[in-house]
Amino acid sequence: MNRRTIILASRSPRRVELLAQLGVHCEILPADIDESCLLGEDPAVYVQRLAVAKAQAIHAAHSQRGLPILAADTTVALGNEILGKPADAAEAMAMLTRLSGSLHEVHTAVAVMHQGQVQCLLSTTRVQMMPVPLAALQDYVASEEPMDKAGAYGIQGRAGAWISRIEGSYSGVMGLPLHETAQLLNAW
C-alpha cells in the first residue's frame, strides 16, 4: 500500500485538487448518507456529524482495503441557520441575497478513519461578503456556478470577487481545510 493513497468519500473535484497539493492520491468513493439537519442542530456540530458518518459509511463497505478514508462536509451558516446546496435557481438567489453584505461563517469538518478509528477536526472561517448588486447576483445564478455549492457560492470562482475579507482558512471555505487535513493524515 502506498501510504500517500487514501479513499476520498466525496465527488468534489475541489477536494481532489486540494489533496493533490498535499501530495496525496485519492480513490473516489462517495458516501451516500442522509444529510438532513437535525432539529435545532448547530451548524458546526452538523458538519462534524456528517463528515464522521461519511467516513464510517465508506469504512463499513471498504475496510478490507486497508486505506485511510477521508471525508469532509462544508456548510455556510448565517447565524445558526444552515445554508446548504441550493435545490434550484430560486433558492440560490434567495441564499445569495441574504448573504450579500453579510458576515457569515463557513464550517468544514474533516474526518479520517483508519483501522477502525476515526478522528475529526473542524475549520471555521468568518467570511465578509460585500453588498452585491441584484443584477450581478442574477448573472451569477444564471451561470449555474452556485448550484453545487454550500451557501450558493464558491470563493474560488466568480463570487470570490465579492469576498472582502476572511478570518480563517481559505481552503476550508473551498471545502477542505489543508492545515487540518494534513494534521489528520500525518497522524496515520
HEC sequence for the chain: CCCCEEEECCCCHHHHHHHHHCCCEEEECCCCCCCCCCCCCCHHHHHHHHHHHHHHHHHHHHHHHCCCEEEEEEEEEECCEEECCCCCHHHHHHHHHHHCCCEEEEEEEEEEEECCEEEEEEEEEEEEECCCCHHHHHHHHHCCHHHHCHHHCCCCCHHHHHEEEEECCHHHHHCCCHHHHHHHHHHC
Cell of 124: 471555521
Whole-number pLDDT of residue 38:
92
Whole-number pLDDT of residue 187:
85
For the chain, list residues with pLDDT below 50: 1-2
Closest-CA residue to 91 (of 3, 179, 153, 17) = 153
Cell of 140: 451569477
Whole-number pLDDT of residue 3:
54
Q: How many residues does the chain have?
A: 188
Please state, in angstroms and as integers, the Cα–Cα distance from residue 137 to each residue in 17, 18, 98, 109, 150, following that order: 27, 27, 11, 28, 16
Q: Which residues contact 182 (CB under 8 A, 6 or more apart)?
A: 22
Instruction: Note the pLDDT tens digit of each residue in 40-53.
Output: 999 999 999 999 99
- Is-contact 105 77, C-beta < 8 A? yes
Whole-number pLDDT of residue 149:
92
Q: Which CATH architecture has domain 5-187?
A: Alpha-Beta Complex (3.90)
pTM value is: 0.93
Q: Which residues contact 142 (CB under 8 A, 6 or more apart)?
A: 89
Whole-number pLDDT of residue 4:
78
Residues with catalytic function: 73
Report the distance separating Cα 185 and Cα 28, nearest Å. 16
Whole-number pLDDT of residue 61:
87
